[in-house]
A and B are shown apart, each in its own frame.
Chain A
Amino acid sequence: MTTLNQHIGDVSLPLDDASPVFPDPALDQLLKLFASAINAELSDRFTEAAAGTTLAEKNPVQSTLPLEPDPRTVREWKPGFPLLALHRFGPANYEEHTLTLEKRTQQWQLHYILSPGDVQIRRRLQGILTFVPSIVSLVIRRRGHASFEDGASQFGSGKGGLAALRIVSSEGGQARFGDEGDGALYLATTITLESVEIDGWNEGSFDEFEGATFTLDLLNQNESENKIEAFVIGDTDHVPPPHGSD
């Protein structure tokens, strides 16, 4: 065997050869979940509020981005606004969860970028920057949303592999996503999340342990022919005789 045959969260080794990218199942799952929930909760009101603006006929989440929305990215990839972007952020902390399991604590940033600053959009839609963190907070607390995967409970194995997820903070308003403040002004909110992922062994990575018998011989170092065989016997399946029997 040349692989670790272990996983941390839903990131499992060996990797699935069929995928052309290095997977981040938690990121993909969270992005889809939050986009679905925000669209389901805010679609109707967004349509009314955005009528006559440059966001008319757009969804509350028009496009998603599994990367940090920095200027270089949006110069290559044309986003649709409003944009929902999610990425891991800052250092990940590793510590013992049990003697044999390790856990990783990681912060994330979820960006909801409404639009480049248009005063009409600001007047009508700026309030959505408060609704989005509230929806995210409630979705995390309920571990899912009815609009996504028929309301299936999220975050566990196969659903991102997160042992825990919480919202840490949010900050909304006008923001620049440019180098040293020279970028365009956007209406946006940034939500900081924190997750916990725990490692483990992949199912089937080891044969099932049924039992073992240990036999120790006692051997005199200088007299190789003089030994006591089976001086100690240990048996995991040994059933001691009833008390008082021979």
Chain B
Amino acid sequence: MTLADSLKPALHAIRAIPGQLGIRPYTVTAVIRRLDGAHGLQGAESEIQRVDIREAGGQPPKVRFANDEELALGGIGKGSITVGPITPNFTGGGTSFDVLVATAAQDHDLVHFEVTGPQFPTGAKFRLVDAQSDRALRYMLRLEPIGAMPEAEEENGNP
């Protein structure tokens, strides 16, 4: 066992503390959907995989919106967010990098991240721009917005 393996469980727990204190208002979920048409972007849609990105105790990760300098210099779209640090998987917890980069996605699958929080109360779809895995103790994601998800229909037709 390496030092990194020893530290991951501790980091997993430490990174959950802000969530426990209620200061991580956004949740992030990785979703893979499949279209069954013979040609691209056609056919009925079905959900293949849905994985919540969480730290210990189911607490959400840190989500930060790109600031003006990053938007101006980084060539990224307005509304882009950075997710992480995300604790890499270890025995008993963490998030696999395969989940973050949708390794399970096959040809023609749709890969999105659903982000829910104060700015997106009904959720918003994001696409992956960059996934950093060059640090042994954390992964970082850069996501850019696609659009708000439609509001779920109320039961019994009540507004």
Q: Taking beta carbons and an 8 Å cutoff, which residues of A are in contact with B?
A: 28, 31-32, 35, 62-67, 72, 75-80, 179-180, 182
Contacts and interface: CB of A to CB of B under 8 A. Distances in A.
Contact of A78 (B107, B129, B144): B107
* Most central of B102, B107, B146 by chain A CB within 10 Å: B107
A78 B109 contact: yes
Contact of B41 (A32, A66, A72, A180): A66
Contacts of A32: 39
Contacts of B144: 72
A180 B146 CA distance: 20
B107 A76 contact: no
Interface of B: 39-41, 75, 102, 105-112, 127-129, 144, 146
Contacts of B109: 77-78
B3 to A, nearest CB: 34
B91 to A, nearest CB: 30
Given A72-B144, A76-B110, 8 more contacts: A62-B107, A63-B39, A66-B40, A67-B40, A72-B127, A75-B111, A75-B127, A182-B75
Nearest to B129: A75
Contacts of B102: 78
Contact of A77 (B75, B108, B129): B108
Contacts of B41: 65-67, 77
Q: Is the interface of A mostly helix, strand, loop or mixed?
A: mixed
B142 to A, nearest CB: 11
B150 to A, nearest CB: 15
* Most central of A28, A65, A78 by chain B CB within 10 Å: A78
Contacts of A75: 111, 127-129
22 contacts: A32-B39, A35-B39, A63-B39, A63-B108, A64-B40, A66-B40, A66-B41, A67-B40, A72-B127, A75-B127, A76-B112, A76-B127, A76-B146, A77-B109, A77-B111, A78-B102, A78-B108, A78-B109, A79-B40, A79-B107, A80-B107, A182-B75
Contacts of A28: 39
A64 B107 CA distance: 10
A64 B40 CA distance: 5
B32 to A, nearest CB: 9
Given A64-B39, A65-B41, A182-B75, A77 B110 contact: yes
Nearest to B106: A78
Contacts of A66: 39-41
B75 A179 contact: yes
Given A65-B41, A180-B75, A80 B127 contact: no
Given A77-B108, A78-B111, A63 B40 contact: yes
B128 A77 contact: no
Given A75-B129, A76-B127, A31 B39 contact: yes
A30 to B, nearest CB: 12
Contacts of B110: 76-78
